[in-house]
């Protein structure tokens, strides 16, 4: 079953709680929500312009993206709407999702042997009220050889991932050190998200124990 905007309906709303809508097509965010016992009633990606504004800081950008995604879906879908946005930041440079293999390889060469920041912003909207969280994690990639970069890019795991890598996949072999939230780097900070959802009547399984 699909929604009017093409998102798949994964379940009817559970008795005793509001309808819950995930404004993201990311399978990783669906999997992360499942870890805390939450299943969206609808999965509806937001269709917005994700281009950074001139001179926009990484924090302002990622926060705006999450808020705009939530607002876009909440405007046409009833219930509690969750949106998130993740970006990788090298210095002040925002590294979004690579357009092609060449850009993915360039991102990895830039991040090789250095620390960078991964910012994930979360917005939950309910009854016209928005709640926000921004989680920043520091990640270090070890020095990567040209062969390692080429092999990873050829495998395709970079597709659809900010910064050109996914910490939960083969690129985990590149990450010797992390400071902050692992789940936020994957795409959704679970502790902060759990608090936001609970405040809106979507109680994770962990909150029921």
| Active site amino acids | 85
Find the distance separating the first CA and the last CA of the chain, reported in whole Å. 32
Q: How many CA atoms lie within 13 A of 80 on its CB side?
A: 21
Residue 156 DSSP label: T
Helices 101-111 + 146-155 axis angle, to 10: 140
Comparing CA positions, the residue from 154, 82, 146, 76 lying closest to residue 120 is: 82
**What are the residues whose beta carbons fall under 8 Å from the beta carbon of 109, sequence distance 6 or more?**
144, 149
Q: Locate 155 and state its tokens.
A: 């495998």
């Amino acid at each position: 079953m699909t929604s009017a905007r093409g998102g798949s309906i994964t379940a009817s709303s559970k008795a005793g709680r509001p309808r819950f809508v995930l404004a993201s097509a990311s399978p990783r965010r669906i999997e992360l929500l499942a870890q805390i016992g939450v299943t969206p009633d609808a999965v509806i990606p937001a269709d917005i312009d994700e281009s950074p504004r001139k001179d926009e800081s990484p924090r302002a950008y990622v926060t705006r993206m999450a808020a705009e995604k939530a607002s876009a879906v909440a405007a046409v879908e009833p219930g509690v709407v969750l949106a998130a946005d993740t970006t990788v930041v090298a210095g002040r440079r925002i590294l979004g999702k690579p357009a092609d293999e060449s850009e993915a390889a360039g991102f990895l060469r830039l991040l090789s042997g250095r620390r960078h920041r991964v910012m994930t912003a979360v917005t939950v909207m309910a009854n016209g009220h928005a709640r926000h969280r921004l989680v920043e994690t520091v990640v270090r990639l070890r020095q990567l050889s040209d062969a390692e970069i080429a092999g990873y890019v050829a495998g395709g795991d970079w597709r659809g991932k900010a910064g050109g890598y996914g910490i939960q996949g083969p690129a985990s072999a590149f990450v010797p050190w992390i400071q902050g939230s692992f789940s936020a780097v994957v795409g959704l900070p679970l502790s902060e998200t759990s608090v936001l959802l609970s405040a809106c009547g979507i109680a994770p399984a962990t909150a029921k124990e």
